[in-house]
Structure 1
Amino acid sequence: MKNLMTQNTLFRRAALTSAVVAGGLMAVNGMAADDDADISATVVVPITIDNVVDMNFGSFSAPTGAASTITLGTGGGLTPGAGVVVIDDTAAAAARFDISGLASQAFSITIAATVTLTETVGGVATMDLTTSWDDDGAAENNAVSSSLDVVGEASVFIGGELAVAQNQLAGDYAGTVNAAFEYE
């Protein structure tokens, strides 16, 4: 019986110790607080670019007296320099890129400042193009940024001044102008 009393006493002491420890832990936790924060993210439509018109200077003759230029405006008009004669301007066109994306969002414009055109048959003759661009087909202001309209659309037009050497080799010339647009 004494053994049973000792066991009961030990059990009560263990239970009391557990209650004290648990109560102490409860008291510590009773002073703690927690809360939650909501998380959100918005993924917008990507900016897209579509080259809808390629740049074309039409046909012209090279100057014989001295080097000159021919300028293609962003609206598509040609202006020949001294000694350059426009033969056919019906195909003349500024490059046009249509941009689509998030309505009213600003975007940056990065266009190569100079491009080299190479004669397509022999590949030895070249002409350098100094580009100009705008977002309205008239200003030629080389803007570094613009904005999409309220439906998420815009256009950028690229023209430029083509350097034509004295007695430039006759033939077809080709090159590529890169245009990059990115949300700001």
Structure 2
Amino acid sequence: MINKPFLARVASLPVALFTVFTMQSALAAPADGDSQAEVRTPITVVKNSDLAFGNFLAGTTNSEFRINAVSGVMSKLSGDAVSIGGTISRASFTATGTPGQQANIRRSQNSINIVRVGGTETMRVNDFFLGNAGGLRDQILDAAGQATYFVGGRLRIGPNQVPGNYRGTFSVTIDYP
């Protein structure tokens, strides 16, 4: 007698499962979903001009000069070194990509040493400032798919700095979401 109730339960299980599956299919309704994707032009960056501080006569004290990224104007902040002309310019970069795309300029470092060509003497360039003509670092690419960014910074000239041509490299990155 123990086996008969067990067999009765097993026999009723397939009927119950069939009923559940039949009820689910009766409640199903079709629906469509849309799918979309946008392929954008990768942003490319071109350097238009270098950050150039010009020519100086070294003084006897630490001296500092700054090139404003927005205006491109160089100003003396401290010390007794004297600017005597030469090429003075803020750095300029143009990003090109999909019109209307956001593109944000970032610096890789905030301080570099520029080294005298043919020597080991250095001067420091730091406090890089990034922006466009309005001072913005984050921009939307225009109808032509372009945005121009400017970089300024501060040059620190040591007392009795050894004469020569000093060079160095800094990096910027254009991020785009």
Same fold by TM (over 0.5)? yes
Q: Which residue of 2 aligns with 1:107?
A: 103
Q: Max radius of gyration: which structure?
A: 1
Q: CA RMSD in A?
A: 2.6
Q: Does 1:96 align with 2:92?
A: yes
Separation in 1, partners of 2:137, 2:88: 25
Separation in 2, partners of 1:54, 1:103: 26
Instruction: Name the SS for the 1:50 alignment partner.
Output: strand
Shift of 1:32: 6.0
Amino acid at match of 1:82: G
Q: Which residue of 2 aligns with 1:7?
A: none
Contact 1:70 1:84 (C-alpha < 8 Å) held by counterparts: no
Matched pairs, number: 155
Contiguous gaps of at least 5 residues in structure 1:
1-26
Alpha-carbon distance change, 149 to 37 in structure 1, aligned in 2, over 3 angstroms: same
Separation in 2, partners of 1:159, 1:178: 13
Contiguous gaps of at least 5 residues in structure 2:
1-21
Separation in 1, partners of 2:82, 2:43: 41
Amino acid at match of 1:44: R
1:39-78, aligned counterparts within 5 Å?
39-64=35-60, 66-74=61-69, 75-78=71-74
Separation in 1, partners of 2:169, 2:149: 16
Instruction: Name the SS for the 1:98 alignment partner.
Output: strand
Amino acid at match of 1:87: I
Q: Which residue of 2 aligns with 1:134?
A: 131
Contact 2:106 2:130 (C-alpha < 8 Å) held by counterparts: no
Separation in 2, partners of 1:128, 1:154: 29
Shift of 1:38: 4.8
TM-score by length of 1: 0.72
Residues 132-173 of structure 1: CA deviation (Å, up to 9, x unaligned): 22111xx5x5x4422222322111111111011111111111
TM-score by length of 2: 0.74
Amino acid at match of 2:65: I
Shift of 1:37: 4.3
